[in-house]
Structures are given as structure tokens and as C-alpha cells.
């Protein structure tokens, strides 16, 4: 059975993706903390930027996914959406 994804909910999908980006951004925080503690002054500045990685990734992830989802919805209305095959399992 073939199905098409013809529309992506922009806000709901963006909220979920934002949470995932924030969680991935904590990797930058773990990298930034040693840079702040042990690094010379230029490295400490970079460490402070890394410390705000989750916030920056969340903001930019939300904005860019809203744009990408809107573009997908527009193109799917013209060309058709992603096509997937599914199977009922009982």
C-alpha cells in the first residue's frame, strides 16, 4: 500500500526538532566547559560561545525547520509528497 506525505505540520514538527537540537547542543556545552576552565583567553572566549550551543542550536534549528517545512509543503502541493510503502501487520 502506497501513501504520500503531502503536508508537514510546521509548528508541531518544529517544536520536536527544536528539542532534539537543544539536546544535541549539550555536546557543545561539554566541550566548552574545559575550554573555559583550562584554556588561554582566546580559547575561553570560544568556550563561552560553546556554552550557549544548546540555545543557539535550538533557535536556529527552529527557524530553519520552519522554512524547510514551508518549502516542502509548497512543493508537495505542486509535485506530490514523499511516497512511502506501508504494510499492515496483524
pLDDT in tens, 6-45: 899 999 999 999 999 999 999 999 999 999 999 999 999 9
Please enumerate in sequence order all residues whose Cβ is within 8 A of that of 51, keeping only pairs 6 or more positions apart, or say none.
Answer: 28, 29, 32, 33, 36
**Tell me, what's the pLDDT at 1?**
81
The count of C-alpha atoms lying within 13 angstroms of the C-alpha of 87, restricted to the half-sphere facing its C-beta, is: 2
Return the percentage of the chain with pLDDT > 90, whole number.
81
pLDDT band for position 89 (cuts 50, 70, 90): confident
How many CB atoms neighbour CB 69 within 10 A? 19
Q: For residues 63 and 7, is the Cβ–Cβ distance under 8 A? A: no
- How confident is residue 87, by pLDDT bands cut at 50, 70 and 90? confident
**Dihedral (Cα; 63, 21, 36, 34), 10-degree rounding:** -160
**Mean pLDDT across 61-76:** 95
Amino acid at each position: 500500500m502506497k501513501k504520500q506525505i503531502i503536508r508537514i505540520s510546521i509548528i508541531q514538527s518544529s517544536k520536536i526538532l527544536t528539542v532534539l537540537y537543544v539536546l544535541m547542543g549539550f555536546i557543545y556545552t561539554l566541550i566548552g566547559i574545559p575550554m573555559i576552565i583550562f584554556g588561554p583567553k582566546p580559547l575561553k572566549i570560544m568556550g563561552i560561545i560553546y556554552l550557549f550551543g544548546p540555545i543557539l542550536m535550538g533557535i536556529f534549528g527552529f527557524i530553519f525547520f520552519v522554512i524547510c517545512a514551508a518549502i516542502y509543503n509548497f512543493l508537495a502541493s505542486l509535485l506530490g509528497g514523499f511516497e512511502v510503502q506501508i504494510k499492515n501487520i496483524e
